[in-house]
Structure 1
Amino acid sequence: MSHDKIRFYEIKDLMQNVKRPRRIDIVLNRKRYNKDFHGSMEQKISLKTSPSNPSLQTDQKVHMNLEKLLKDKKYLVAFRTFLQSEYSEENIDFWLACEDFRSTTVPADLRRKAEAIYQEFIQPTACREINVDHHIREKIKKSLEKPSRSCFDEAQKHVYLLMESDSCPRFLHSDAFLSLKNKSRSLWYI
């Protein structure tokens, strides 16, 4: 055995001596950082904007979130493309399929669409399986006997929260979002 390689147990011994921050320290530091960051950003924004240009002022204050993103078609398309690049577009496709399902009024269509959504996204062998727990899967499977418009609500909420906490923040910091945002902002001045 070579001396150049570090053995696992040596790393383990070294890691025991590393001081790790406690959860409460992380949370408190994050709150402090957010407070300082947002306070300084508000100050910078108020210096850059002027009462003579109200459209710039409201544009600076608008904060994009997942709800707004899903309502705007150009941002929705960009978000879906971003999710494709991360191999997780099944989340947005499932969410959109649930929205379409919820607007269904014909009972025969309800059953057909429910089966299609289950087979594509929910069942354990689904080609585009979403990340929901076993209990939610079982509830949906049972509800397929007599599907209602709310049978996917719990899974849809779970996927929404997953996108809101994970994918959406990464998208909002991506080059794709920033260039789209700058492009739409420049169109107001043309």
Structure 2
Amino acid sequence: MPKLLFSKIRFSDIKDLFPNVQRPRRIDIVLNRRRRNCNIWSSGQKLNDEACPSNLSWKTDHKLDLSLEKWLKDKRYRAAFRSFLESEFSEENIDFWLACEDFRSASDDLKWRAEKIYEEFVKPTACREINVDHSVREKIQESLEKPSHCCFDEAQKHVYLLMLRDSCPRFLHSDAYLSLKRKSRTHWYI
């Protein structure tokens, strides 16, 4: 029998060669632990498939959430993320999110600002229409009579989750992000 490099081959790849050998006990323990952890997360959170189209695990979503927060706060990362979204024809998401942040911090003429955001991003015939549900659009339209600082919160959260689950994973593999990350690493040595 030829010698095999077992560190590079999984047991499932060679199990046909050894019909009487069973899987080692240690691997069973590790796999059961992983299954238990997955079951804890899936039973602890009742997720709807429509609300969470991504099949990412909680840990991955959490890491992406921290990354997206970092990108939206830092000017360089925000500019790189926005240019990436432009290349995917979805820059209206980040522009809407930033407009909502400005709206939330504004203190004067809320009605005018709310109508401007509605006309540009939320209205069904808007030139830069965002992807939100019809019910959310109706709630925003009703709140335009007496706008408050939180009238766009539901739509903003929806757009944030859309960027988090859809755009962020692709941005992590884009050339724009990789070059920016490389520049930030070499910045310390200059």
Task: Determine which structure has the larger helix proportion and give its number.
Answer: 1
Aligned length: 131
Alignment of 1:122-137 (within 5 A): 122-137=122-137
RMSD of Structure 2 on Structure 1 (CA)? 2.0
Percent identity, aligned pairs only?
Answer: 74
For 2:187, the equivalent position in structure 1 comes to: 187
Alignment of 1:162-173 (within 5 A): 162-173=162-173
For 1:67, the equivalent position in structure 2 comes to: 69
Corresponding letter in the other structure for 1:76: R
For 1:8, the equivalent position in structure 2 comes to: none
State the Cα deviation string for residues 132-185 of structure 1 (Å, max 9, x = none). Answer: 000000000000000000000000000000000010111111111000110111
The whole-number CA distance in structure 1 between the counterparts of 2:169 and 2:107 is 35
Flag as ranges the 4+ runs of structure 1 deviating above 3 A. Answer: none
Corresponding letter in the other structure for 1:133: D
Q: TM-score, normalised by structure 1?
A: 0.66
For 2:143, the equivalent position in structure 1 comes to: 143
Q: TM-score, normalised by structure 2?
A: 0.66
Alignment of 1:90-129 (within 5 A): 90-106=92-108, 109-129=109-129
For 2:152, the equivalent position in structure 1 comes to: 152
State the Cα deviation string for residues 99-125 of structure 1 (Å, max 9, x = none). Answer: 00000112xx21111000000000100
Structure 2 gaps of 5+ residues are: 1-30, 36-62
The whole-number CA distance in structure 2 between the counterparts of 1:173 and 1:71 is 20
3-state SS of 1:188 partner: helix
Corresponding letter in the other structure for 1:70: L
Structure 1 gaps of 5+ residues are: 1-27, 33-61
The whole-number CA distance in structure 2 between the counterparts of 1:188 and 1:113 is 41
